[in-house]
Structure 1
Amino acid sequence: MRHHPPPDPQRRQWLLGSASFTAAMPPATAAASPIEAVYPRMPERPVDGYAYQLLRLALEASGQPFRLRLTAEELPSVRAFKSLESGEFNVMDAGAAPRLAERAEVLPFPLDLGLCGYRVMLVRRDRVAALRQVHDLTDLRRLSFGQGPDWVDNYILRAAGLSVQEAEFLALFRMLEAGRFDAFPLGADEAGTLLDTFRHLAPSVVVLEDWCLHYRFARVLVVRRGQPALRQALSRGLQAIFNDGRAQALLRRDARLGPVLTGQRPLPERVLQLPNPQWTRAFDAIPEPLMFMPGRPAH
């Protein structure tokens, strides 16, 4: 394991500024009852993924006994928020969106350092030459994009005047293969891996290396309302692992994020910026120094 360097001045300033947040949380006690954490079993949320691994690491760092398990059944993504609210599970990771703060408790730590805001395109091989000619918003508005049902990305893309088709996650690979839309944007941390996993559904699809989209975004943990013990334990644990660098070290080792964070698999040089009107005050608590920026080392 590589040793994590000491925090830089920006990050140290954030650590000092977060002291009141930490002090406001009740301390864990050895006699406390185990925390029950139930995570959704979903195709796009594998247990070897960084979000689940950070969840476990945060629980371990909380100083609180815990039990972490998956839902008995696999859930479709369209049911995710309803299932969270109904109590089928009590913690999940999701893209930062206003509805999260309205329907669940948001923990303001960027699980992916904001890397999911860099959206890499999956495209059909026979469309690569044409899509290489995209340079600006006008060009983007001539294309159609596939996205999952009710993903926050849909609102961001449509707010920029882009055309979006929604479908269940696995169906999107089949639809792209059939030419139903031009591109399937996915986070830079997941596009290549997910294509490898589901290539049998889209054998003609490749990763476009010429350009990507970017908007302010991050993946966060959310906890079902009425679960204060779980929320407090995770807040303590996340604070600890981001403070001492264990979270960043885990992300650098991750097969999906690591190569991008370390520069071994750089992002496309052409990054087309889109505004994110879905980024609200609820997410201003996410520390900006923790957000990934090309050319700036991940701390």
Structure 2
Amino acid sequence: MDQNGDEYLTDIHIQVEGPDIQKATGHAVIRCNDRNYAIKRLDNLPGVTLIPVHAAMGTYLVTVTLLDGKGEAATTEIPLVAHVFENREGNLFLNGEPFIVKGVNVHGMIPESPERNRHMMRFLKEIGFNMLRGDYPPVWEVDMAEEENMGWMVLAPFSVNSTDYFNKHYGPHAFAQMREVTRRFIRAYRDKPAVWLWNSCNEVTNEIEDFLVTLYPQYKQMDPAQRPVVYANLFGQDKSLGQDLMAVNYYFGIPQSATSRQPLIERSLVEARKAGLPCIFTEFNCWYGPVYSKGIEALRGIYEFGIDKVYAGGFLYLLPRIRTGTRR
């Protein structure tokens, strides 16, 4: 339901084409979470049919059945990611409702233990988190988040580097090779309903705007769900090109306070507003990390301050790494 109490719908596009389609009739059944969302007769063959459905989390299973002139049926099933993120006048909406990212970076997510991983996700969910962020997570970990009704922002393998590094190691056509890396990355995750946001790169310097602009079209061309693309700005960068959702990383040092970052946090929001984009924190904390005193200060002085200034939430950095084995 939207703010006016109306049911929020999204459109599913079904395109049927082929040399003998003019002789066929057909229908489509759309299911999500074990319930029928729409049954639609396909009359305009060949062509595109728009089917309005209730926005939901999970995967729509679109089953298309065509009956040819001889009465023989052909059926195909197509899975589609079933959530809709929108930028409404600089505010983030998910399936028609205002959405706040309550996330955590999970680079320390016990990758060797699926059972403990699931316990960690459930614990995070119970204390209020709704999203996870990490670089190139294993696919089973993303599937597990879907089962626990949590979202992922997956980070492509471009983090804390200069474009000079890419040019040095990949030659004069480095950006073309980086686009191919991006395409492989998208193919690995685009069919996963738990992927809510794409993180194209993190804290890249030098020709960053050119880099962002060259990566962005790959997501728009290859992701049928058109999920928002995010760049994690290095402290003070405030770039907005090549993004659907602007993001910033903010820390404070040991002798500093979280409130010392607030003027810069406000400046980042001003830049996001100029671009007409929502703004989130992709990382925030003290360099101490999530220890009790400084973690609480970061939560109040950065995250909650940002929420009050109409940030759309963010991701705490860093989930403590839990190691197994014997200490020597």
TM score, norm. by length of structure 2: 0.24
Q: Which has the higher contact order (CA 8 A, sep 6+)?
A: 1
Compare CA radii of gyration and give the structure with the larger one.
Answer: 2
Higher relative helix content = 1
TM score, norm. by length of structure 1: 0.26
